[in-house]
Amino acid sequence: MKIIQLKEAERLKEGLRSLTEEFIGEHSYYSTWIQKNSSTFKDGTRIVYELNDKEKVVGYMMVHFSTEKCAKINGIFVFPDCQKRGYAKEALLQVLEQLKSQNYDYAFIQTRTNNKIVVHMFDSLHFDVIGQNYHKIENQTNLLAVYDLKEKRNFDEMFALAEQLYPGFSKK
Ligand SMILES: CC(C)(COP(=O)(O)OP(=O)(O)OC[C@H]1O[C@@H](n2cnc3c(N)ncnc32)[C@H](O)[C@@H]1OP(=O)(O)O)[C@@H](O)C(=O)NCCC(=O)NCCS
């Protein structure tokens, strides 16, 4: 499996549709969110990757290059009939390697507190769960985790960056 950055407009559109589909039903603001942030997909601040196994699309992942040092993994989705085959784990490992080679310090990711699969992946991939992020629009609390790409183990720096990047952040 490899991750491929989507550049062509129609494929990018399909990736975004697929990534946000299950959330749009619940939170309609995601459809306007895509429109509002469309320039970031053009200028490369946000990237959608296709998860591609032998020319077959098995899912999508979105990354936001938030600052010079920090990236946010905004979402990952593996199609239901392709789940439990290691694709998500492999995609995260590949993006973490890319970020390391691009000299990033931290990769942040959040998930709903009840998303047991992702919480399990935080553990098995050695993300540090550093706190919670209250999402005002969704009216719910997410767990916030960070991957320490340079193994600095500087938790004060991680907390300070999380406060900048996530308005509803509170540390553990
Ligand atoms: C979360 C998601 C991306 C995982 O994708 P996946 O390709 O099936 O995950 P993987 O096969 O790489 O499995 C990763 C780990 O989770 C475990 N896992 C995956 N699906 C599982 C399930 N249904 N039940 C229990 N464990 C599961 C795997 O065994 C593996 O464990 P390991 O690290 O001990 O080997 C996928 O379930 C999904 O798209 N869910 C809906 C969208 C979502 O919740 N996205 C996350 C938003 S942050």
Distance CA(6)–CA(44), nearest Å, equals: 10
The single-letter DSSP state of residue 152 is -
| The pLDDT value given to residue 140 | 87
Which one, of 120, 31, 19, lies nearest residue 77 by Cα? 19
Q: Is the CB of 104 under 6 A from ligand 1?
A: no
Q: Is the CB of 124 under 6 A from ligand 1?
A: yes
Domain count, the chain: 1
| 3-class state of residue 80 by DSSP | helix
Domain holding 49: CATH number?
Answer: 3.40.630.30
| The pLDDT value given to residue 136 | 82
Place of tokens 């609390």: 141
The residue type found at 15 is G
- Which of the residues in the chain have pLDDT under 50? none
| The pLDDT value given to residue 29 | 66
Q: For a pocket test of ligand 1, which of 49, 64, 83 has the largest count of ligand atoms closer than 8 A to its C-beta?
A: 83
Q: pTM for the complete prediction? A: 0.95
Distance CA(140)–CA(134), nearest Å, equals: 6
Nearest CA to ligand 1 atom 9: 88
Q: Is the CB of 93 under 6 A from ligand 1?
A: no
Q: For residue 85, how far is its CA from the centre of ligand 1 (angstroms)?
A: 8
Distance CA(172)–CA(159), nearest Å, equals: 9
DSSP H helical ranges for the chain: 9-24, 29-36, 38-42, 87-101, 116-124, 155-165
| The pLDDT value given to residue 27 | 63
Q: For a pocket test of ligand 1, which of 49, 117, 143, 146 has the largest count of ligand atoms closer than 8 A to its C-beta?
A: 117
Residue-number span of the structural domain to which 41 is assigned: 2-171
